[in-house]
């Protein structure tokens, strides 16, 4: 079974621009979560989508948004990029639904804002 894939793997953007990152979950997984990883703040939860609905949201400004499509693929968007948005963005998928499920992570998208 194919793992979680994320595209692109690397991205360089300029302050003020916007960016869209994509995540394809494992087949059959309906939940997709996004995390930001930085050396200073560690791993922080951005949001989770389940069956095309945002089910949970972390403490990030409204510049960070996401969506999920009917095939469970998800995108996250960051508008008006700031230098502090430079990070590794990780996507994770799981079955979702009732109970606690293992989350499987993709390799991440490394975003550099200059």
Partner 1 sequence: GDSVTQMEGPVTLSEEAFLTINCTYTATGYPSLFWYVQYPGEGLQLLLKATKADDKGSNKGFEATYRKETTSFHLEKGSVQVSDSAVYFCALTLNFGNEKLTFGTGTRLTIIP
Footprint on this chain of partner 1 (rule: CB under 8 A): 4, 31, 33, 35, 42-43, 45, 48, 50, 55-56, 58, 90, 92, 94, 96-108
CA quadruple 29, 71, 74, 47: dihedral sign: negative
Instruction: Rank residues 73 and 79 by Cβ distance to partner 1 and give the closer one.
Output: 73
The nearer residue to partner 1, 46 or 81, going by C-beta atoms, is 46
Q: Of 18 and 38, which has the nearer Cβ to partner 1? A: 38
Q: How far is the CB of 84 from partner 1 (least distance, A)?
A: 18
Q: How far apart are CA 97 and CA 103, in angstroms?
A: 13
Distant-in-sequence, close-in-space partners of 96: CB < 8 Å, separation ≥ 6: 29, 30, 31, 50, 51
**Closest approach of Cβ 93 to partner 1, in Å?**
9
Rounded least distance, CB 104 to partner 1, Å: 7
């Amino acid at each position: 079974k194919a793992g979680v894939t994320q595209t692109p793997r690397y991205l360089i953007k300029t302050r003020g621009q916007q960016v869209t990152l994509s995540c394809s979950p494992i087949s059959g997984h309906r939940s997709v979560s996004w995390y930001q990883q930085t050396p200073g703040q560690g791993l922080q939860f951005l949001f989770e989508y389940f069956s095309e609905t945002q089910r949970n949201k972390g403490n990030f400004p409204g510049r960070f948004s996401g969506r999920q499509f009917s095939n469970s693929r998800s995108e996250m968007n960051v508008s008006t990029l700031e230098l502090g948005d430079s990070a590794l963005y990780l996507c994770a998928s799981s079955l979702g639904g009732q109970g606690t499920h293992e989350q499987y992570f993709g390799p991440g998208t490394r975003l550099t804002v200059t």
